[in-house]
Amino acid sequence: MPGHRLDNGALRRRCCFDPRECTQYIARPVLLIYAIVWLGILAVVKMKKRLLLVEDLPFDSELTLRAIGQSGTPFEISLARDGWDALVLMKNQDFDLILLDLKMPRMNGFETMILKNGYGLQAGVPVIILTNSNLEADRLEAQRLGAAGYLHKALDYAEFSDRLAATLRQY
């Protein structure tokens, strides 16, 4: 009984020692199995990583979200439509990966990275640049600001999806 202390003599009197007849021997393994299953479910829930997608164009957002879904990598995704919204989300939530467009209204991707780094937001979180820009100067500036990768969006969808999936598997 809960709250009552049983000595060995009381335990012997209350419980038989034949495992086939004693419910105490059955209850413990069942509880252990329940605990293992429950912890396994928690481990699966915790394994889902958080991704911030910063993209202003709805069409590009949809393509990127579809490619992320097809990558087979489980992510919980937050979407920001510009750099300001992204900074607010970075301040209030933790992310495991950030996908950042360069050309956006209000605040472009470079300005977002400068402020992110300056305020120490999401320090150590990899930032992958997603852009239509083929300019080498943009690629070098992204590297200088600490981007972990640079992915060109203007490819055909299948190639973009494959490259994005390969990138996501790294994280």
Per-residue pLDDT for the chain (171 aa), expressed as one digit of tens each? Answer: 455 444 444 444 445 555 555 554 444 555 555 555 555 555 555 567 999 999 999 999 999 999 999 988 889 999 999 999 999 999 999 999 999 999 998 899 999 999 999 999 999 999 999 998 889 999 999 999 999 999 988 778 888 888 888 888 888
Residues 93 and 150 in one domain: yes
Distance CA 110, CA 129 (A): 10
Range of the domain at 122: 48-169
Residues 57 and 125 in one domain: yes
Residues 32 and 55 in one domain: no
Helix 58-70 and helix 157-169: axis angle, to 10°? Answer: 60
- 3 belongs to a structural domain: no
Check: CB of residue 101 under 8 Å from CB of residue 130: yes
Residues 68 and 134 in one domain: yes
Q: What is the pTM of this model?
A: 0.71
Residues 39 and 53 in one domain: no
Check: CB of residue 155 under 8 Å from CB of residue 139: no
- 1 belongs to a structural domain: no
